[in-house]
A and B are shown apart, each in its own frame.
Chain A
């Protein structure tokens, strides 16, 4: 089609589109709804966003752990297989090579998140929400961070005060927008 045959205004519009939107935004993505992303939408954030309904305590978690976790991570969270992490470890990090396990985490939600996305290692993403809360409760109990009967759920898990919580220094404030108070997690 010859540009000369187009009305002037239309020609201008085409030229403008080609120079901006056409070059920068090919728009080849397909729109999708958040509902259709549900299967992948699995993160648990420090303030509790993303934690699903469900609950569990350490007593329930002990049986699940023994069946699904102990083979690699060791009975009662100690003496794991070579190359695997124990679930119980130091809670004081005063040497640079101190082994970091669950007590190192600033937020308890990290434990739920990593189990939900990655565990059990050979068959990930197979634990139910209740199992994940029970396992979180059990592993926190093994580390003496919560009591044996404390129920972990979307409300209580983000409120668990982790022992190493206040020992983190943000490396470069200028580059990072991070506000632990606004995140509102541990209270």
Chain B
């Protein structure tokens, strides 16, 4: 944030909640001045040390390399990569997680978008790929990638979240890992494709159809059942991801996009849609993505990814460089619609202040929240809590554990999935040396 010297200085901004949280209006960039900055006086940084004299660096004195056809990040950003569950390409599933703690804004770059592939990346030739729609329809039809690309398209921002995202937080003890390890199985992007309702109009829906079986062209023929009610709402067949064709790990050449629902329902490599009169009870809906509840019952068809938020800055793996001004920020999202409000606490939930939401706030999409903060160097616990427009609120950890339980013994690897649909609060403690730990609070 820039602090300008003005003739008519407004009054200094006082904290709005415990441990130095400041009014979110400070982020508007004018009319409000940070109280902490005022005391240091103009021309000096918060640390008081003057800057070095400036000189030209080598890159300012010689020409650089010519631009390549496909650009990648600076060599100085080599550490900004996905983490892998199967780095040695063993004959099993493979995951890659988004480095939330190293990203900003709301769009996950395609190169860093999370993947879960249960039988590797199929090498699909788009000229050969076909999508068939059949079953309880008036006329079964086959579509090619080329033909679908000629249909009216829509572009929408949506998150996709694996139902097993944040599963390490079912552990009875907080695991000391990054936001990437905890929450990296969720990403957000702009999807462009054909609304499924357009194609269903064309094949003609038999009124007996209540569900749609969606099946991939991967070697598992991975398949999920989607209720007709959802399918006719905002479901699309996505061809583009952040402006380019869908990535191989995200379903090239086409995937089903079921906004706000379990990632696994967004069937990749989509080749078949069958209208049926009952849920197919495929492996993933019957087992993997059904959740055991304390007491022995299980949820069936828990499709919606509920309201959630987590702080990405600062978070585990970061170190604060001494007391002073920082911006706390993170992402919030809900499968029920738009984020309505995010509250932030710096004292472990004793007091809360409302964060600024970075617009536009899209339904079923990441929303970045920001909160100015003046850290006094004492230990703090940072938390965020989100509300969605449907009135749902992110549960506190005690509420969540009471309803959903936790493991008997601490989980030892972030690659384990003891249960699914964790949407409670993430707490980061900052110690007096600026180190950030994961805690339950």
Which segment, of A7-15, A58-66, A98-106, A148-156, faces chain B? A98-106
A residues contacting the other copy or chain, number (CB 8 A)? 59
Kindly report which residue of chain A lies nearest to residue B148, judged by CB atoms: A28
Kindly supply a per-residue 1/0 record for chain B positions 283-312, scoring 1 wherever the CB is within 8 Å of any chain A CB and 0 otherwise.
100111011111111111111100000000
Is the C-beta of A122 less than 8 angstroms from some C-beta in chain B?
yes
Are B91 and A24 touching (Cβ within 8 A)? no
Quick one: which of A8-62 are within 8 Å of B by CB? 23-34, 37, 40-43, 45-47, 49
Q: Which of A28, A33, A113, A177 contacts B282 (CB 8 A)?
A: A113
Contacts of A93 in B (CB 8 A): 292, 296, 298
Give the 7 A-B CB pairs with smallest separation, nearest first. Answer: A29-B141, A117-B221, A171-B302, A97-B418, A28-B147, A114-B283, A96-B405
Quick one: which of B205-222 are within 8 Å of A by CB? 210-211, 213, 215, 219-222
Are B283 and A175 touching (Cβ within 8 A)? no
Are A29 and B91 touching (Cβ within 8 A)? no
CB distance from A168 to the nearest CB of B (A): 4
Are A47 and B278 touching (Cβ within 8 A)? yes
Are A45 and B297 touching (Cβ within 8 A)? no
Contacts of A94 in B (CB 8 A): 295-296
Are A30 and B141 touching (Cβ within 8 A)? yes
Are B147 and A169 touching (Cβ within 8 A)? no
Contacts of A100 in B (CB 8 A): 287-288, 290, 292
Are B229 and A175 touching (Cβ within 8 A)? yes
| Interface, chain A (partner B; CB < 8 A) | 23-34, 37, 40-43, 45-47, 49, 83-84, 92-98, 100, 104-107, 109-110, 113-114, 117-118, 121-122, 124-125, 164, 167-172, 175-179, 182-183
CB distance from B207 to the nearest CB of A (A): 12
Are B301 and A24 touching (Cβ within 8 A)? no
* 5 contacts across the A-B interface (CB closer than 8 A): A83-B93, A107-B286, A113-B281, A168-B299, A177-B211
Kindly report which residue of chain B lies nearest to residue A84, judged by CB atoms: B92
Are B229 and A26 touching (Cβ within 8 A)? no
Are A176 and B301 touching (Cβ within 8 A)? yes
Which segment, of B42-50, B106-114, B132-140, faces chain A? B132-140
Q: Which of A34, A49, A83, A113 contacts B283 (CB 8 A)?
A: A113
> Given A94-B296, A95-B292, A167-B296, A117 and B301 touching (CB < 8 A)?
no
Is the C-beta of B227 less than 8 angstroms from some C-beta in chain A?
yes
| Interface, chain B (partner A; CB < 8 A) | 90-93, 119, 132-134, 139-143, 147-148, 150-152, 170, 198-199, 201-203, 210-211, 213, 215, 219-223, 227-230, 271-272, 274, 276, 278-283, 286-288, 290-304, 404-408, 418-419
Contacts of A43 in B (CB 8 A): 213, 215, 223, 274, 276, 280, 282
Are B300 and A169 touching (Cβ within 8 A)? yes
Could you tell me the distance between the alpha carbons of A171 and B163 in the complex, rounded to whole angstroms?
Answer: 14
Interface of A is mostly: loop
Kindly report which residue of chain B lies nearest to residue A166, judged by CB atoms: B297
Contacts of B272 in A (CB 8 A): 37, 40
CB distance from B400 to the nearest CB of A (A): 12
> Given A29-B203, A105-B287, A34 and B140 touching (CB < 8 A)?
yes
Q: Which of A23, A96, A171 contacts B170 (CB 8 A)?
A: A96
Are B298 and A40 touching (Cβ within 8 A)? no
Are A117 and B223 touching (Cβ within 8 A)? yes
Kindly report which residue of chain A lies nearest to residue B197, judged by CB atoms: A24
Q: Which of B91, B150, B213, B291 contacts A26 (CB 8 A)?
A: B150
Could you tell me the distance between the alpha carbons of A183 and B407 in the complex, rounded to whole angstroms?
Answer: 35
Kindly report which residue of chain B lies nearest to residue A115, judged by CB atoms: B283
Q: Which of A30, A49, A107 contacts B142 (CB 8 A)?
A: A30
Q: Which of B198, B227, B280 contacts A177 (CB 8 A)?
A: B227
Could you tell me the distance between the alpha carbons of A109 and B90 in the complex, rounded to whole angstroms?
Answer: 29
CB distance from B243 to the nearest CB of A (A): 23
> Given A24-B152, A43-B280, A117-B221, A31 and B227 touching (CB < 8 A)?
no
Kindly report which residue of chain B lies nearest to residue A94, judged by CB atoms: B296
Are A96 and B294 touching (Cβ within 8 A)? yes
Q: Which of B199, B219, B278, B300 contacts A168 (CB 8 A)?
A: B300
Are A24 and B198 touching (Cβ within 8 A)? yes
Known: A31-B142, A170-B299. 16 other contacts (CB 8 A): A30-B143, A32-B134, A37-B132, A40-B271, A95-B405, A96-B294, A96-B419, A97-B170, A97-B407, A104-B290, A110-B286, A117-B220, A124-B221, A171-B301, A171-B304, A172-B304
Could you tell me the distance between the alpha carbons of A95 and B303 in the complex, rounded to whole angstroms?
Answer: 21
CB distance from B198 to the nearest CB of A (A): 7
Are A34 and B281 touching (Cβ within 8 A)? no
Are B301 and A170 touching (Cβ within 8 A)? yes
Are A29 and B280 touching (Cβ within 8 A)? no
Could you tell me the distance between the alpha carbons of A26 and B144 in the complex, rounded to whole angstroms?
Answer: 13
Are A31 and B221 touching (Cβ within 8 A)? no
> Given A172-B304, A175-B230, A96 and B278 touching (CB < 8 A)?
no
Contacts of B405 in A (CB 8 A): 95-96
Could you tell me the distance between the alpha carbons of A36 and B202 in the complex, rounded to whole angstroms?
Answer: 19
Kindly report which residue of chain A lies nearest to residue B278, judged by CB atoms: A183
Q: Which of A28, A45, A122 contacts B151 (CB 8 A)?
A: A28
Contacts of A107 in B (CB 8 A): 281, 286
Contacts of A172 in B (CB 8 A): 301-304
Could you tell me the distance between the alpha carbons of A37 and B273 in the complex, rounded to whole angstroms?
Answer: 11
